[in-house]
Amino acid sequence: MVSSDEEAGLVKKDAPTDGKDPLDPKNDPDLVTNGGKFQSKVAILQVTWRFPVDPDPLNILALIYGYLPFVVPVVFFVDMLVEWRFIAFYGLVTSAVVTLLNEVIFKPILKQPRPEGSANRKFNDKTGKWEMKPGMPSGHVANAATTMVWCLLEVALRGPGFDDQPFLTTKILLLIIVCMGPVPWARIHNQDHSLAQCTVAGIMGIVAGVTAYLIRVTYFPLGVGQEWCYQSLCLIGGKPWDPFVDGPQAGSEVVTAAAITTTLAQASLTIKPKLHCNAQQNEALARMSSKPRLPISQPL
């Protein structure tokens, strides 16, 4: 007869009866000591590594995609330091906000554990037992989905344009999808998250990505020549693909007119002193030109 605890799902039917904690890393079934094929198993930046590493291409790909949600914010940060572009700063802030909301609010409230195949575990001092870290929703997927949706909207609606630059626009869109799209699969394949955790995170990322885009286009226009300053620190407008687009960009007419006006003003300031300084020379030349000239054949 099934106990009430088993019916309620509070106790696993296949829980070991030898008194061992099934979530203790030493009792992990993936380890050789417990009948598995791996010598060790650790979580590095919330990505589970099993050593020796399985050379299967799908496993390697899943490990790589596990770190892309970390790589993209780093790229934003480097671009902000090198190019001083506001859009890179905005992407970095968007990623940070999504991470904080997920890790500080959603995960602690939902408290849904990760799959037991993950190495993301912690020891609970109160219960004296190991437990899986919370995984609902997946932070990796939430960040990847937010970045992907926001970037897709920026390129498709405010990018090079399918009319003027269809090839460049398509390449950028495909690059974004290839970089961010497979992250949910990678997290599930590596057993760091369940399908439900990745699905919820994906939905959250879509909402966050659309919101980030609407806020950006409404309050932070990025025309060429636009600047956003705080005291002496300024970030410039424009988009990363601007140097690859032929022809004048939006706002370039204003910049060009300003540049021409400035150049002419500088030229006039440079010419006027020269004319003033050479006034006496010009007068002497005029007097010389008024004197009668000797015929060419007349000797001097």
Residue 223 contacts residue 251 (beta carbons within 8 Å): yes
Question: Which amino acid type is present at position 150?
Answer: W
Per residue in 89-143, pLDDT tens? 999 999 999 999 999 999 999 999 999 999 999 999 998 999 999 999 999 999 9
Q: How confident is the model at residue 3 (pLDDT cuts 50, 70, 90)?
A: very low
Q: Is the dihedral of CA 19, 25, 27, 29 positive or negative?
A: positive
Token pair recorded at residue 229: 């300053």
Kindly state the helix (H) or strand (E) to which residue 132 belongs, with its residue range.
strand 129-132
Distance CA(277)–CA(190), nearest Å, equals 80
- What CA–CA distance (Å, rounded) separates 219 from 133? 38
| pTM as predicted | 0.75
Find the mean pLDDT for residues 145-159: 94
How far is Cα of residue 86 from the mean position of the Cα atoms in its chain?
13
pLDDT at residue 274 is higher than 50? no
Residue 246 confidence (pLDDT): 53
Query: DSSP E strands: which ranges in 141-225?
Result: none
What mean pLDDT comes out for the span 271-282?
Answer: 46
d(CA 80, CA 75): 8
Mean per-residue pLDDT for 212-236? 86
CA distance 109 to 265: 64
Lowest average pLDDT, out of 46-55, 239-248, 281-290, goes to 281-290
| Rounded CA separation 12/16 (Å) | 9
Give 230 or 2, the one with higher predicted confidence: 230
Which is higher by pLDDT, 190 or 159?
190
Q: Report the C-alpha gap between 223 and 216 in whole angstroms.
A: 12
- Residue 53 and residue 69: Cα distance in Å, rounded? 21
Mean pLDDT of 187-214: 98
